[in-house]
Chain A
């Protein structure tokens, strides 16, 4: 029946009690533990949670009752501090329900009351069970920082009627709207320099990209290694032609390209101009796109990708580094293609020349521009 453990084990609870947050929660919790230990020492194996709570509450009330009654007795005797006799009288009062030995006897000394004897007997008989946990001194008093006085702050109180040892008045910004000072000094020159520097960085990045594109165009077969997800068809195509400047990747879900017949026009250009400039790469890209979309218009007759496999549509360059832009940008032209204008084969060649010219102009600009930039 008895638990084997001593003070360290607590009786298990059949019911999990809901902890209601109270102002006195900590004290009640501690009392709960102490009462549980006492129950365990008496012989109980366990207890219901609510029952334990009730018993703890009753124990706390008992302590408070002792305190109140002792204070009453000490005040009655004209003292403010209690002594042992006050407590003994209190215990006699509270124990009146059951009675204590020699209650009716007339005593000259209260120290001989039965209550004390009972308590002494209890202390001797019961085993000593110290509390299971160590407790801090509670409640913990929070330190409050008082508002400093006028003297402490070195302020002069506004008005003769306010003595200087009183707490200082609050700052005006706490109750009034005051001006907000901009701490940072405006420096237009530094700001402009910063802006120009950032623009230069952006332009340099663009240039690097262009150069890399040029390398792709130049590389040919070697460039294909840089291009991701190249289809088998692409590699075959490369091997066949040998001097292809541009090795575009196939898009996912691409149809089977059975025969890749490079039109003569394109093949000529590719073979003649071997030192691939960026221009060539762009022009071929534009051509391929245009062909593709025109083929889309006549889908039934011609295959989907006649000339070259699909290219990435996302490559778009805007040559707008300086304000002067000669002619249309390539971007616009590509967009026009997407809308779906038809071009006859004859017109294609002329426009191809136009595009070539335009691309050359714009590229020249971009080459010149870095020089301008350095001059900045």
Chain B
């Protein structure tokens, strides 16, 4: 009997957990209707249609848009970290004379470093092939 009772209790708990998760997701999807992601719905639906994704539900489209936005934001923030790190190293070399208050520019170097962690290999084409430092890692080159 004890065994039966304990056995009965477990499904209830998992059922409640499931219910919580479900409720959370349902709530989240409902809130997505009010939230406007940066990536527009038309664009997402166009590309999802190209790959065979069929769903008339707007919430799912918004979910995909939000997921993509999260992905891009993560990549961009990683690139920003790389950019800041590089600038910090420069400032350290030159001393604290100048504060780098300039706008941070997203460059190909930072982006390729950030994307490497996501499994995307992006390499910028070199302009001049005849210099000896061609093809070397940018960090080893002098800025």
Contact = CB atoms under 8 A, between A and B. Distances in A.
A48 interface: yes
Interface string B39-60: 1101110111111111110011
A67 B50 contact: yes
B47 A67 contact: yes
A55 interface: yes
A42 B77 contact: yes
A55 B117 contact: no
A65 B80 CA distance: 25
Interface in A53-85: 54-55, 58-60, 62-68, 70-71, 80-84
Given A1-B101, A64-B50, A64-B51, A39 B60 contact: no
Looking at chain B's contact residues, is the secondary structure mostly helix, strand, loop, or mixed? helix
B119 interface: yes
B47 A98 contact: no
B55 A81 contact: yes
A51 B70 contact: no
B80 A43 contact: yes
Interface residues of B, number: 65
Contacts of B80: 42-44
A41 interface: yes
Contacts of A128: 35-36
B68 A112 contact: no
A283 interface: no
B48 A46 contact: no
A45 interface: yes
Interface string A161-199: 000000000000000000000000000000000000000
Interface of B: 14, 17-18, 20-22, 24-25, 28-29, 31-32, 35-40, 42-44, 46-56, 59-60, 63-64, 66-73, 75-77, 79-80, 101-108, 111, 115, 117-120, 122, 124
Given A50-B108, A59-B39, A120-B24, 9 more contacts: A47-B107, A48-B107, A51-B108, A66-B48, A66-B53, A97-B119, A111-B18, A112-B24, A122-B73
